[in-house]
């Protein structure tokens, strides 16, 4: 069994932003030399997430609207008593989750036809890290 680890740093231009990761993850997989196994993709911050879905702009707008409907930006979060203003970002990250596992088959990410991997930033405009860990043979 082999493993390969890489880290990415994101500094988004907007506070809330989606970053399509699939092309970068394919490059990491190529560098790893692993042909059968699993890739873990995990946001290393509690105000960001990683998810798998379609790379379609209308859907992305729907996702943002859905998240804002469930965990809207508000000033009255108790978390804001700490001096932060990102209570909604913590809640949104719980809805999206912080990591995904993608199977690797014959040296390729084994995603469905329309599946792509995304990094979701909910409190950006500062450095945030992401870990990619591949294990297999």
Q: Which residues contact 20 (CB under 8 A, 6 or more apart)?
A: 55, 116, 117, 118
If pLDDT is split at 50, 70 and 90, which confidence band does 103 have?
A: very high
Position 118 scores a pLDDT of 98
Nearest Cα neighbor of 36 from 94, 85, 103 is 103
**Average pLDDT, integer, range 103-121:** 98
CA dist 40 → 25, 85, 107 (Å): 10, 30, 15
Three-state secondary-structure class, residue 120 = strand
Mean pLDDT of the chain: 97
Q: Which residues contact 75 (CB under 8 A, 6 or more apart)?
A: 85
Position 112 scores a pLDDT of 98
If pLDDT is split at 50, 70 and 90, which confidence band does 120 have?
A: very high
For every residue of 8-24, DSSP letters joined together read EEE--SSSSEEEE-HHH
Three-state secondary-structure class, residue 41 = strand
Q: What is the pLDDT of residues 37-90, one digit of tens each?
A: 999 999 999 999 999 999 999 999 999 999 999 999 999 999 999 999 999 999
Position 78 scores a pLDDT of 96
Total Cβ atoms within 10 A of residue 20: 13
Position 59 scores a pLDDT of 98
The domains of the chain are located at 2-136
Superfamily of domain 2-136: YjbQ-like (2.60.120.460)
Nearest Cα neighbor of 99 from 66, 136, 50 is 50
């Amino acid at each position: 069994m082999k493993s390969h680890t890489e880290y990415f740093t994101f500094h988004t231009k907007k506070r809330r932003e989606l970053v399509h990761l699939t092309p970068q993850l394919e490059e990491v997989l190529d560098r790893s030399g692993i042909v059968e196994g699993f890739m873990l993709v995990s946001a290393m911050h509690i105000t960001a997430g990683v998810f798998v879905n379609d790379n379609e702009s209308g859907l992305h707008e729907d996702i943002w609207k859905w998240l804002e409907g469930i965990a809207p930006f508000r000033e009255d979060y108790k978390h804001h008593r700490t001096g932060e203003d990102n209570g909604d970002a913590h809640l949104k990250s719980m809805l999206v989750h912080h990591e995904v596992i993608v199977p690797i088959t014959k040296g390729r990410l084994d995603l469905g036809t329309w599946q792509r991997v995304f990094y979701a930033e909910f409190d950006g405009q500062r450095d945030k890290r992401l870990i990619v860990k591949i294990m297999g043979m």
